[in-house]
Structure 1
Amino acid sequence: MKFKKEITWLVYFASIVSLFVASIGVSSSHSSPSTSFQSIQGENIPLYGKGLYQLDSVSAAAQVIAQDWVTLLLGLPLLWFSLHWARRGSMKGRILLAGTIGYFLYTYASYALLLMYNDFFLLYVVLLSTSFFAFTLTMMSFDYEKLHQSFDATIPVKTIAGFLFFLAFLLLALWLSRILPAIINNTPPTGLEHYTTLVIQVLDLSFIVPAAILSGVLVLRKHAFGYLLATILIVKGMTMLTAITAMMANIMRAGEAVSIIELSLFPLLNIFVVYCLILMLKHVKEHKSVTGGPSHENTNRLRHQTR
């Protein structure tokens, strides 16, 4: 794997920092909000009032704490496992690593840009930067000229592309249903609360939706880069849908209302995206160096030594 050393150090550093950040985050247990804040739009927003997220709203803090739990219980173990697998030369490991780093990149971009300023602001910035460069180097480590050799020809392209198109449509419908009525009625959108803008919607509409549509089109065309991008999105989707499911459970625990549609839809999608991930990884072909045969690098070294 190209850039193995650089990626390893970046991932180790990010994992240590995120372990500390998430551990402190989950220690902020829920309590009844003692204060409220009137936003610039005139809404009275109940504040969490305790721990690291004391200045955030009850709803936002409940979501972030759930995200911290998912980072600790799923994100970090998956990051360490995929890094170990990738370092052994596994194509599946490298794809899984890219998708998992994508989760950390998305997560700490939202923390740095969305949350009310707190003592961990610089740590969020460090995690955002570290995740970005780790993701960039991981994507650069693939040999795109030979990428088609890593996927077999029996990938169920219609199933994978259909899921990606549905994911893009779902995010569009979900977020535009909040944004457009607010624009038309000249009212603050649902979920804005006392924050300045809709950061999650910015990230989803700017990056996730276009990436899902693009990868869906490329998968239908049986393009190798489409397979790679689709698998990375599916890994990222699995971690994020798990986080969303945990968020909804924690929001209800905090006494906030959750849409019945979201409550039923996201857990079902979470199950289906795990199925899609298994389906895609099943059709990734490993090199001989992973399965026990001599690698191309070792073969060249042996030839050089026998001359």
Structure 2
Amino acid sequence: MKFQKTLTILILIIVVLAVFAAIIGIFSEGGPGEFEMTSVRGEIVLIYGEGIYKHMSSEVAIQGIAQDWVTLLVAVPLLLLSLSLSRRGSVKARFMLSGTLLYFLLTYLFYLVMAMYNQLFLVYIILLAASFFSFVLSILSYDWNLGKSNFRNQLSVKLIGGFLIFNAILMGGMWLSLIIPSLLNGKYPEALDHYTTLPVQGLDLALFLPLSFLSGLFVIQKKPIGYIGSAIYLVFLSLIMIALLSKILFMIFVNGADGIPAIIIIPVINLVTIILAVYTIKNVKEENR
């Protein structure tokens, strides 16, 4: 694989710093505990008040801790496993590696632009930089003109592409249902809390959901970029959905939030995503490495 040495160094940096950041996020203590504050918009916001996330709203801080657990227990081991196997020449592992790197890229992009400034700020910068450049190097290693030949003919492109398009429309509709009413009635969305904007929704709508839609569309059209893009995106989406499910569970059991209907819908979508990711990776032909 091209850029193997540089990619390995960058990934090891990600592993060390991601483990460090996740442990700090999960176990750090200190602070006044939960308290209320009035935002610049005149709204009462419950602040978490403990550890590294003490200045974040309670709801978002809990979600950050949930994602730290997923990063520590799922994403980091998968990153190391896929790196090890890809260094041995596994084509399947290369797709897993790219998808996992995209997870780290999105995760620390959100941490950098959404988490309130804290002592891990430089760590988030390095993690985002290492994730971005390692992801770029990983996708540059593919022969994009031979995308289709990497997969067995029995791969159902309509199934995969249809799901990715459905995912983009479903998530996009959910975010727009939050944003559009607030724009029409001149009020701020409840999810805004004391933050300046909606980075998760904005970046999803601008970058990651169009990527899902286009990957799905291109694989249905049997374009080489669609085969590679959809395989990478399904691995990435599987990790993101695991993180989303963990956030919902933490909000229910820690914050006492009402998880209906998300606690029913998200596990189903998560399971379908993982099944399709496994199905797609299994249909990668190792002999084309």
TM-score of the pair, normalised by structure 1? 0.91
Provide the C-alpha distance between the structure 1 equivalents of 2:192 and 2:30, rounded to a whole number of angstroms.
Answer: 21
Question: Is residue 51 from structure 1 mapped to residue 16 from structure 2 by the alignment?
Answer: no
Provide the C-alpha distance between the structure 2 equivalents of 1:61 and 1:89, rounded to a whole number of angstroms.
Answer: 40
Give CA deviations for 1:241-292 in whole Å, capped at 9, x if unaligned: 0001000111112325245122211111111011101110121101277xxx
Larger radius of gyration: 1
Quote the residue 1:7 is aligned against.
Answer: 7
Provide the C-alpha distance between the structure 1 equivalents of 2:63 and 2:29, rounded to a whole number of angstroms.
Answer: 12
Give CA deviations for 1:134-158 in whole Å, capped at 9, x if unaligned: 0000000111233332112211112
Determine if contact 1:31/1:48 at 8 Å carries over to the other structure. no
Give CA deviations for 1:6-31 in whole Å, capped at 9, x if unaligned: 10000001110111010111114799
1:139-158 aligned within 5 A = 139-158=139-158
Quote the residue 2:228 is aligned against.
Answer: 228
Q: CA deviation at 1:107?
A: 0.2
CA RMSD of aligned residues (A): 1.6
Q: CA deviation at 1:109?
A: 0.2
Q: CA deviation at 1:89?
A: 1.2
SS of residue in 2 equivalent to 1:205: helix
Distance 1:12 1:237, change over 3 A: same
Quote the residue 1:106 is aligned against.
Answer: 106
Provide the C-alpha distance between the structure 1 equivalents of 2:3 and 2:141, rounded to a whole number of angstroms.
Answer: 7
Quote the residue 1:303 is aligned against.
Answer: none
Distance 1:120 1:224, change over 3 A: same
Q: CA deviation at 1:99?
A: 0.2
Counterpart residue identity of residue 282, structure 1? K
Q: CA deviation at 1:70?
A: 0.1
Determine if contact 2:92/2:282 at 8 Å carries over to the other structure. no
SS of residue in 2 equivalent to 1:46: strand
Determine if contact 2:91/2:284 at 8 Å carries over to the other structure. yes
1:211-226 aligned within 5 A = 211-226=211-226
What is the percentage of aligned positions where both structures have the same residue? 38
Quote the residue 1:35 is aligned against.
Answer: 35
Determine if contact 1:151/1:224 at 8 Å carries over to the other structure. no
Quote the residue 2:196 is aligned against.
Answer: 196
Determine if contact 2:105/2:128 at 8 Å carries over to the other structure. yes
Counterpart residue identity of residue 45, structure 1? V
Quote the residue 2:167 is aligned against.
Answer: 167
Determine if contact 2:24/2:52 at 8 Å carries over to the other structure. yes
* Unaligned 5+ runs, structure 2: none
Determine if contact 2:165/2:216 at 8 Å carries over to the other structure. yes
Quote the residue 2:263 is aligned against.
Answer: 263
Provide the C-alpha distance between the structure 2 equivalents of 1:253 and 1:122, rounded to a whole number of angstroms.
Answer: 32
SS of residue in 2 equivalent to 1:116: coil
TM-score of the pair, normalised by structure 2? 0.96
Quote the residue 1:300 is aligned against.
Answer: none
Provide the C-alpha distance between the structure 2 equivalents of 1:208 and 1:63, rounded to a whole number of angstroms.
Answer: 20
Provide the C-alpha distance between the structure 2 equivalents of 1:179 and 1:79, rounded to a whole number of angstroms.
Answer: 34
